């Protein structure tokens, strides 16, 4: 019984540590941030001669459709951090869920079951 209590206590302790990590994260953004190269199609533009334009975009899927947003200059770092925060959040939530399921699998220890255990040890 004490082993079960110890396991439960340790799992709750780890869960609280993970929750603190969630709270310390910055803003999460469920999107991919990528740099793309493209041709604009304007005749005589440098991109028609091989030097393509460059852009940083964020893409996400919403209701089966891809949304693409051009990220303005100076905001690329912020967008990449937010996307990384989303991946970190997903990882933490997966770990939290595993801990919660581990706790739920443990038998419930009551004061009655502890006293029953002590009585059986005396005999």
pLDDT of residue 119: 52
The confidence score (pLDDT) of residue 17 equals 95
Q: What is the pTM of this model?
A: 0.74
Distance CA 73, CA 53 (A): 14
The pLDDT assigned to 101 comes to 94
Per-residue pLDDT at 41: 83
Pull the structure tokens for residue 15. 């869960």
Number of H-type helices and E-type strands within the chain = 3, 3
Contact 102, 12 (CB under 8 A): no
The pLDDT value given to residue 63: 95
Q: What is the pLDDT along the chain (123 residues), one digit of tens a residue?
A: 778 888 889 999 999 999 999 999 999 999 999 999 998 888 889 888 889 999 999 999 999 999 999 999 999 999 999 999 999 999 999 999 999 999 899 888 765 555 555 555 555
pLDDT at position 111: 58
CA dist., res. 121 & res. 51, Å (int): 82
- Stated length of the chain: 123
* pLDDT of 60: 96
If 0-12 CB within 10 Å is exposed, 13-18 middle and 19+ buried, where does residue 58 land?
buried
């Amino acid at each position: 019984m004490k082993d079960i209590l110890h396991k439960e206590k340790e799992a709750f302790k780890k869960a609280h540590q993970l929750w603190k990590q969630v709270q310390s994260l910055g803003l999460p953004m469920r999107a991919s941030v990528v740099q793309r190269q493209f041709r604009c199609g304007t005749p005589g533009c440098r991109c028609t001669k091989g030097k393509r334009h460059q852009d940083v975009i964020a893409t996400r899927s919403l209701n089966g459709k891809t949304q693409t947003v051009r990220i303005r200059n100076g905001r690329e770092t912020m967008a990449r951090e937010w996307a990384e925060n989303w991946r970190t959040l997903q990882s933490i939530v997966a770990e939290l869920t595993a801990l919660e399921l581990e706790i739920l699998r443990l038998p419930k220890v009551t004061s009655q079951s502890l006293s029953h255990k002590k009585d059986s040890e005396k005999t």
